[in-house]
Structure 1
Amino acid sequence: MPFTPLASAPTAAQTATNLADTEPAAGPREEVVLGLSQDRVAITANFDGSEILIFGAVKREAPIPQDDPLEVIVAVSGPASPVMVRRKEKKLGIWVNTDSVLVDSAPSFYAVATSAPLSQVLSDTEDLRYRVSVGRAIRSVGAGMHIRGAQQFAEAVIRIRSDNDLYSLRENTVAVDQQTLFRTAIDMPADLTEGAYSTRILLTRGGSVVAQYETSIDVRKVGLERFLYAMSREQPFLYGLMSLAIAIAAGWGASAAFRLLRRS
């Protein structure tokens, strides 16, 4: 059955899941030293997406463990907000909305890159603990008892946003050299939401997380786009008048140009 997600406006109370209170598995201490090709993405009129190169190294004060190989997970998450999802059913030849569920928190963009298949890199227990996979990154706990197949609503958000290249799992795309250096590239689509994009790096061995590091990428409109966006939110009346004046001027200019062409 088809679903229609309706994204609501983000609220200030929504925050990313805090991972500071989680402790990696015990063992030789390994730390992430991270680098980004850019930590700020500027959205302009001709913006058609961006590619972020993420690279780094593993800092350690002990020899490299020889038991399980080092694996790397890179997860980039956009600003999260609630999403209203409605289920449509065909009744008397007409598609109508029936059940609806408010998905409590869904990131506007989510990409996970791994150095090997995710099932080998991270155990299910650790995935539940750190919320790494796409399904675990979405929080939906508000479905009523009368809603049948409540999990399908969260799955619909994942399916639709995956089709729009907003959600992706990119296995075997993180290159790891000598269990010390790693690098990957994350493609970001053109229709990005403004805000801070959380970037997490997790080091794992034998499916368990041994170290993690978190930073952020700032995505903002700049220049004229930023001015128009701010005006539309802060001064909607003036924005409407300006839009009307531009439309009238464009119509008059096109009419004048056609008259000149006919005369010539």
Structure 2
Amino acid sequence: MPRFLTGLLTLLLLCTGPLWAEEVVLGLSKDKVSITTSFDGSDILIFGAVKREQAIPDGPPIEVIVTVAGPSTPLTVRRKAKRLGIWVNTDAVEVDRAPSFYAVQTSGPLREVLKDVEDLRHKISVPRAIRSVGAPSNISDAESFTEALIRIRSRSDLYQLREDAVTVSEQTLFRTAVRLPAALTEGDYVTRIFLTRDGQVISSYDTTIDVQKVGLERWLFELSRGQPLLYGIMSIAIAIAAGWAASAVFRMFRA
């Protein structure tokens, strides 16, 4: 075969892409969450389908991973130790970036549906979503600080790993519900869906959920940022009024 025909055939094969292309088609029960004074959390239903140009291929079944990440901020993780009978801060590690909320939900055990190299590439698991570099040279166990952060936020339901929480039907339809706790930071919550086969990511899709304070919650938040002195005076006045009202009620019942 002439050399130019061989090169042309190779180029066509590269441009054609995978024969069994599979893509995500996604839906959300709501793409906006409003935080009010009575907000106690919210459930987001995430559902979708796998779009194919061909029939379902033979081989390992398709798996689905869903992640929802709140705004990321830097923070300091400190370690306490007892010195002369008093608990004091001894070591500290600066975490460059940690999501305020992070949920991972999968259609099977995470170790089985996602290879480690793919996790490293896409930053899917909870530890990989946290960026911590440049720990002080006197700290040899910097990883334990990240583990402590994950443990603390997991107790508050701010970091979640829920395996077998995504239902996949007929290798085409999938759905899951992500629980957003009451203690949310407002901002864009990046939602990612990954399709995997044999541990390899074959398709992904990104969207966002808008989380914002509204009503009295929004007014108080803006007041505390824009006019902190007025906010402090108002907080003291409310505390005094509440204390006076409580004592008045107590005296009335004693009378």
2:77 to 77, 85, 107: 85
Q: Unpaired segments of 5 or more residues in structure 1?
A: 1-24
Alignment of 1:38-117 (within 5 A): 38-117=30-109
Let me know the Cα RMSD of the aligned residues: 1.7
The TM-score with structure 2 as length reference comes to 0.88
Q: Could you report, residue by residue, the CA deviation over 1:81-140 in whole angstroms, capped at 9, with x for unpaired residues?
A: 112011112222222211111011111111100001111111011000001011111110
Paired residues, number: 239
Identity within the alignment, %: 65
| CA offset digits 1:217-239 (Å, max 9, x no partner) | 11111101110111001111221
Cα distance in 1 for residues equivalent to 2:96 and 2:18: 33
Tell me, in whole angstroms, the C-alpha distance in 2 between the residues paired with 1:248 and 1:88. 36
1:244 maps to 2:236? yes
AA matched with 2:56:
I
In structure 2, what is the equivalent of residue 154 of structure 1? 146
Give 1 or 2: higher helix fraction. Answer: 2
What amino acid maps onto 1:62 in structure 2? Answer: Q
Cα deviation, residue 190, structure 1: 0.9
Q: TM-score, normalised by structure 1?
A: 0.85
Q: 2-side partners of 1:91 and 1:192: how far apart?
A: 35
Q: Distance in 2 between matches of 1:115 and 1:208?
A: 14
> Greater CA radius of gyration, 1 or 2?
2
- Show the counterpart of 2:133: 141
Pair 1:34 & 2:26 matched: yes
Classify the secondary structure of the residue corresponding to 1:160. Answer: helix
Shift of 1:164: 1.3
Partner of 1:235: 227
Q: In the TM superposition, what is the alpha-carbon distance from 1:243 to its structure 2 partner?
A: 2.2
What letter corresponds to residue 53 of structure 2 in structure 1? E
Where does structure 2 lack aligned partners over 5 or more consecutive residues?
A: 1-16
Which 10-residue stretch deviates more, 86-95 or 32-41?
86-95
Q: Name the aligned partner's letter for residue 72 of structure 2.
A: A
Aligned counterpart for 2:214 among listed residues 196, 216, 222: 222
| 2:158 matches 1:184 | no
Q: Which residue of 2 aligns with 1:172?
A: 164
Structure 1 residue 251, shift from structure 2 partner: 4.1
Q: What amino acid is the match of 1:239? A: Y
